[in-house]
């Protein structure tokens, strides 16, 4: 990256650090034996419908966000974590607490393990703990699919060999926040600090162990117009499909506490993406990755001012359609979506893009 971009990136990093402020040392103290969150939802598992359990383990949080790099411009998930890293025993208790939600459910089940950081980072989740959790999953025959979230730098041959060995022949996916296939967008607008090559490497290591990759694609990081963001997400989907990802999970930005995005949003300098744009990206994804890649989207804070939203009148029908699509992969569900605010969205795409005046 040339010097000018490096300076711009540094400015974003400094602004991210400022936005984070003292929020991390001042996180509310939480029980180290309870997960940050755990919920079940109907989900597409392979080609059938089942239930997915999402577990967010409470850890000290993402190393990138904890460190002096400022973390990602839109993310403060680590604020849900704890200030002292839980012990092996405590982590396992968190996991068990979450797993109890699966007690009476039938196969097929899917378990997704998030940490607001990287499950495969041994500094965050010690190796023994990780393997103990995986072993607990491996003895449950109902669980057909496992998703493990990590930044690419922790995806190594040894770790994946462990994972594959323990989980046997289950479907396993690595959830990696690719966010954008553009290194410019990922490093400058998001401050994510890894490049496309490391994503590609992780994906290849995964393939070697028959582990798929679930690419999280971010819609509308800061410092982009609605249209640039839309085009970038579409291109990212195309690139991710051709790299060979197994699932694309589209994440429209939501405004999280103590982030650079929040400080821009408060000044009227940022608006979360329109639901129209979300649908547009999903249509494109379906067209591009049809039948080879699973496409899902579970927008956070959708319909609210901090999340992806339209005019307010049509938001719930859009959110329903997006949920339905994520389950059945059928884009026709979007055909019935209509609202007067379409004209306004079209105007924003055009006008904001040329004038660079933020439309919020």
Residue 6 beta carbon to another protein: minimum distance, rounded to whole angstroms = 10
What whole-number distance in Å separates Cα of residue 177 and Cα of residue 217?
A: 7
Task: Candidates 137-145, 147-155, 251-259, 261-269: pick the segment binding another protein (CB under 8 A).
Answer: 261-269
Q: Is 354 in the site for another protein (CB under 8 A)?
A: yes
Q: Where on the phi/psi map is residue 282: left (φ > 0), alpha (ψ -120 to 50), or beta?
A: alpha
Q: Is 222 in the site for another protein (CB under 8 A)?
A: yes
Q: Is 26 in the site for another protein (CB under 8 A)?
A: no
Residue 201 beta carbon to another protein: minimum distance, rounded to whole angstroms = 24
Tally of CA atoms within 13 A in the half-sphere of 96 that contains its CB: 10
Mention every residue, 6+ apart, whose C-beta is less than 8 A from residue 228.
Answer: 353
CB nearer to another protein: pick between 224 and 296: 224
Mention every residue, 6+ apart, whose C-beta is less than 8 A from residue 179.
Answer: 72, 185, 186, 190, 192, 216, 217, 218, 221, 236
Q: Binding marks (x or -) toward another protein, 168..207, rule CB under 8 A?
A: --------------x-x---xx------------------
- Cβ neighbours around 40 below 10 Å, total: 16
**Residue selected from 30, 66, 227, 304 as contacting another protein according to rule CB under 8 A:** 227
Q: Is 357 in the site for another protein (CB under 8 A)?
A: yes
Q: What is the largest CA-CA distance in the chain?
A: 58
Task: Candidates 110-118, 200-208, 212-220, 352-360: pick the segment binding another protein (CB under 8 A).
Answer: 352-360
Tokens encoding 350: 């055009």
Phi, psi angle pair for 26, to nearest 5°: -95, 15
What whole-number distance in Å separates Cα of residue 180 and Cα of residue 206?
A: 19
**Residue selected from 156, 198, 228, 317 as contacting another protein according to rule CB under 8 A:** 228
CB nearer to another protein: pick between 118 and 263: 263
Q: Is 223 in the site for another protein (CB under 8 A)?
A: yes
Provide the binding-site residues for another protein, judged by CB under 8 A: 4, 7-8, 11-12, 15, 182, 184, 188-189, 222-225, 227-228, 231, 264, 267-270, 340-341, 343-344, 346-347, 350-359
């Amino acid at each position: 990256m040339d010097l000018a971009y490096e300076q711009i990136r540094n400015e974003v990093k400094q602004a991210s650090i400022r936005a984070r402020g003292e929020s991390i040392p001042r996180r509310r103290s939480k029980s180290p034996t309870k997960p940050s969150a755990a919920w079940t939802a109907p989900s597409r598992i392979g080609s059938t419908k089942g239930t997915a359990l999402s577990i967010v383990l409470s850890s000290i949080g993402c190393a990138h966000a904890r460190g002096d790099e400022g973390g990602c411009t839109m993310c403060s998930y680590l604020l849900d974590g704890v200030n002292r890293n839980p012990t092996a025993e405590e982590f396992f208790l968190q996991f068990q607490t979450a797993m109890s939600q699966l007690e009476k459910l039938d196969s097929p089940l899917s378990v997704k393990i998030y940490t607001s950081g990287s499950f495969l980072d041994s500094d965050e989740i010690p190796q023994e703990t990780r393997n103990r959790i995986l072993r607990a999953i491996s003895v449950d025959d109902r669980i057909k699919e496992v998703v493990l979230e990590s930044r690419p730098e922790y995806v190594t041959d040894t770790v994946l060999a462990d994972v594959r060995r323990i989980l046997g022949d289950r479907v396993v996916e690595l959830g990696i926040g690719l966010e954008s296939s553009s290194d410019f967008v990922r490093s400058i607008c998001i401050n994510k600090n890894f490049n496309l090559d490391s994503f590609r490497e992780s994906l290849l290591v995964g393939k070697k162990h028959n582990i798929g990759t679930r690419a999280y694609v971010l819609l509308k990081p800061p410092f982009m117009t609605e249209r640039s963001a839309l085009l970038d997400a579409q291109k990212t989907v195309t690139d991710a499909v051709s790299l060979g990802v197994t699932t694309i999970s589209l994440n429209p930005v939501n405004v999280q506490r103590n982030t650079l995005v929040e400080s821009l949003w408060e000044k009227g300098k940022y608006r979360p993406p329109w639901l129209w744009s979300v649908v547009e990206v999903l249509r494109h994804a379906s067209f591009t990755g049809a039948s080879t890649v699973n496409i899902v989207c579970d927008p956070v804070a959708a319909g609210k001012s901090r999340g992806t939203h339209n005019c307010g009148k049509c938001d719930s029908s859009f959110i329903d359609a997006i949920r339905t699509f994520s389950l059945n992969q059928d884009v026709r569900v979007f055909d019935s979506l209509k609202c007067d605010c379409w004209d306004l969205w079209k105007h924003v795409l055009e006008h904001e893009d040329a004038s660079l005046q933020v439309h919020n």
